[in-house]
Amino acid sequence: MRILVVEDDPDINRQLVNALTDSGYVVDNATDGEEGHFLGDTEPYDCVILDLGLPVMDGVSVLEAWRREGHKMPVLILTARDRWSDKVSGFDAGADDYVSKPFHMEEVLARVRALLRRSAGHATSELTCGPMMLDTKSAKVTVDGRAIKLTSLEYRLLAYMMHHQDRVVNRTELVEHLYDQDFDRDSNTIEVFVGRVRKKIGLDMIKTARGLGYRLAAPDEGA
């Protein structure tokens, strides 16, 4: 899952990026509204953390522009604790949730997890597909209760497919949501990682849709 952080305070920006990266997300970041708007307009993100008090272009203007342009990714806004009017402006502009500064990082991570699963139509942090369960809170995967050890990239791939199970996901989409903007992307490597995950799962759950991509489905749901 790929997340954009738009925050001009260098310490807060760094803390958010580090915490999200440690939680298994791919993270891009920007330090002003103009750069943030450009990234959100040109790159596909699963969620955005957006500060409202940004230089060059304020957060509300960035969010309003994204929504006008048809971008529907969930957005978590960061606001000053005593500025209730900012929260109202943020929601009216199209925000999905907010956190007041100063904040606890665990709360931000929990709200990001909630936004990601709600946008994909899931109600809890435990995503299931047949005998497989992925806990987005602990980043653990089990099959029939057996723990599956995955590398960080293998986990990202499986987590994205678990969030979007039962639909075909093409290689380009996987690449765009598994790597940050500076990574030398090669869609051919996706096939390698899909093969590794299949082997570790030990069940026929990642189906190949020839010429289209891959679909995650329970073992008894056909190709």
Rounded distance between C-alpha atoms, residue 213 and residue 194, angstroms: 11
Task: Return the SS3 of 33.
Answer: helix
- Residues 84, 55 contacting (CB under 8 angstroms): no
Please determine, looking at this structure, whether the domain spanning 2-119 carries the CATH number 3.40.50.1820: no
Q: What is the DSSP letter of 169?
A: B
pLDDT score, position 36: 98
Residue 146, token pair as written in the block:
């057996």
Query: Looking at residue 183, what is its pLDDT?
Result: 64
pTM above 0.85, yes or no: no
Q: What is the pLDDT along the chain (223 residues), one digit of tens a residue?
A: 899 999 999 999 999 999 999 998 999 999 999 999 999 999 999 999 999 999 999 999 999 999 999 999 999 999 886 678 888 999 999 999 999 999 999 999 999 999 998 888 887 889 999 999 999 988 899 999 999 999 988 999 999 999 999 899 998 889 888 887 666 666 678 888 999 999 999 888 999 988 889 999 988 754 4
Please give the pLDDT value at position 188.
72
pLDDT at 203: 87
As a whole number of angstroms, the distance between CA 210 and CA 5 comes to: 35
Q: What is the pLDDT of residue 187?
A: 63
Residue-level pLDDT at 49 = 98
pLDDT at 55: 96
Cα 54 to Cα 62: distance, rounded to the nearest angstrom: 9
pLDDT of residue 223: 43
Q: How far apart are CA 206 and CA 223, in angstroms?
A: 9
CATH topology of domain 126-216: Arc Repressor Mutant, subunit A (1.10.10)
| Domain ranges (residues) in the chain | 2-119, 126-216
